[in-house]
C-alpha cells in the first residue's frame, strides 16, 4: 500500500497503515509545489532589511532583537538544536512513525516555509524504516510537541541515535559512582560524633556546648 500525502488531511486508516503496518509514503506533486511556493516567501523575508519574527528576530522575550543577515542561518540551527533534549522512557515505534507522518502532512500544506528536501527527507525515513528514538519528556512551555518533533527530525541532521525497524536503541549505561570529594568527606566526618568532641560545657554543663554563649568559645569554622 502507498499513502499519498497531499495538501489535504490524512485519514485515520492511512495513519495506521504507515505507523503500524509499514505502508510506503509519497508526496503529491501539488504538495511539493505548495512547499516550494511558501519557501520562496520565507527566503524573501530572510533577505529583507525589515525585521520579521522568527526569521530575522529572536524568539519569545527576544522578539525585539534584530538578527544580522550573516547570523540568521545560525539562528535557525541554534533554535532546532536547543530543543534536541529528552528524557524518560522511549516512545513506542508506531507512535513515532505516526508523529513523523503527521508532521509531513503539515509540511505538505505549504504553510511552513520549509524546503522540499525537508519534506522528502521525512518520506525517505518512513520508507526506509528508520525510526528516531524519541523520549516521553523534555519539551517546554505551552508547545508540548517541540522536543519530540525536533527529535523525530534528527536523523536528517545526523545529530541523534536511530534504531532499525526491528530494534530500538539500548538504554545508556548507568553512570559509575563518583568518588567522594575532600569536602564531602569532611562533611561526613563533621556529621559523625567524635570521641574527642565535648558533649557538655565544663563550666555550666549546657549541652551541646555551642549553645553556651557565656563561657564556651564558638566552634572553629571549616576550611573553604
> Does residue 203 belong to any structural domain of this protein?
no
Residue 6: CB atoms within 10 Å = 17
Catalytic one of 29, 44, 53, 197: 53
> Does residue 20 belong to any structural domain of this protein?
yes
Name the residue with cell 562533611.
187
pLDDT in tens, 186-203: 344 444 444 444 444 444
Q: Dihedral (C-alpha) 68, 73, 78, 83: value to the nearest 10 degrees?
A: 130
Residue 106: CB atoms within 10 Å = 14
pLDDT in tens, 24-80: 999 999 999 999 999 999 999 988 889 999 899 998 888 999 999 889 888 888 877
Cβ 16 vs Cβ 30: under 8 Å? no
> Does residue 25 belong to any structural domain of this protein?
yes
Nearest-angstrom CA–CA distance, 216 and 210: 7
In which element (H, E) is residue 87 found? strand 87-90
pLDDT-wise least confident of 70-79, 148-157, 166-175: 166-175
Q: Which residue has the higher pLDDT, 20 or 215?
A: 20
Cβ 114 vs Cβ 107: under 8 Å? yes
Cβ 186 vs Cβ 222: under 8 Å? yes
Q: Would you place residue 136 in the very low, low, confident or very high pLDDT band (cuts 50, 70, 90)? A: confident
> Does residue 60 belong to any structural domain of this protein?
yes
> Does residue 212 belong to any structural domain of this protein?
no
| Boundaries of domain holding 66 | 2-162
53 belongs to the catalytic site: yes
> Does residue 193 belong to any structural domain of this protein?
no
Cβ 87 vs Cβ 139: under 8 Å? no
Q: Would you place residue 143 in the very low, low, confident or very high pLDDT band (cuts 50, 70, 90)? A: low
Rounded percentage of the chain residues whose pLDDT exceeds 70: 62
What's the number of domains the chain is made of?
1
Q: Are strands 2-5 and 87-90 parallel, antiparallel or unpaired?
A: unpaired
> Does residue 47 belong to any structural domain of this protein?
yes
Nearest-angstrom CA–CA distance, 36 and 190: 68
Average pLDDT for 206-220: 45
Q: Would you place residue 144 in the very low, low, confident or very high pLDDT band (cuts 50, 70, 90)? A: low
Q: What CATH number should be reported for the domain holding residue 110?
A: 1.10.275.10
> Does residue 118 belong to any structural domain of this protein?
yes
Q: How many residues does the chain have?
A: 224
Cβ 85 vs Cβ 9: under 8 Å? no
Amino acid at each position: 500500500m502507498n499513502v499519498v500525502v497531499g495538501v489535504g488531511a490524512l485519514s485515520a486508516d492511512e495513519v495506521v497503515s504507515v505507523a503500524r503496518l509499514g505502508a510506503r509514503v509519497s508526496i503529491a506533486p501539488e504538495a511539493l509545489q505548495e512547499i516550494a511556493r511558501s519557501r520562496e516567501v520565507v527566503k524573501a523575508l530572510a533577505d529583507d532589511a525589515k525585521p520579521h519574527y522568527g526569521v530575522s528576530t529572536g524568539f519569545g522575550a527576544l522578539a525585539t532583537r534584530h538578527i544580522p543577515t550573516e547570523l540568521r542561518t545560525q539562528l535557525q540551527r541554534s533554535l532546532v538544536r536547543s530543543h534536541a533534549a529528552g528524557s524518560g522512557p522511549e516512545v513506542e515505534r508506531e507512535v513515532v512513525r505516526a508523529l513523523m507522518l503527521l508532521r509531513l502532512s503539515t509540511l505538505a500544506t505549504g504553510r511552513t516555509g520549509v524546503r522540499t528536501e525537508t519534506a522528502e527527507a521525512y518520506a525517505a525515513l518512513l520508507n526506509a524504516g528508520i525510526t528516531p528514538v524519541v523520549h516521553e519528556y523534555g519539551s517546554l512551555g505551552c508547545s508540548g510537541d517541540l522536543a519530540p518533533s525536533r527529535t523525530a527530525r534528527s536523523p536528517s541532521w545526523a545529530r541523534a541515535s536511530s534504531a532499525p525497524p526491528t530494534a530500538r536503541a539500548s538504554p545508556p549505561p548507568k553512570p559509575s559512582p563518583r568518588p567522594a570529594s575532600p569536602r564531602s568527606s569532611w562533611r561526613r566526618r563533621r556529621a559523625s560524633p567524635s570521641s574527642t568532641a565535648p558533649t557538655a560545657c565544663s563550666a555550666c554543663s549546657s549541652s551541646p556546648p555551642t549553645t553556651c554563649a557565656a563561657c564556651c568559645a564558638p566552634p572553629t569554622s571549616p576550611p573553604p
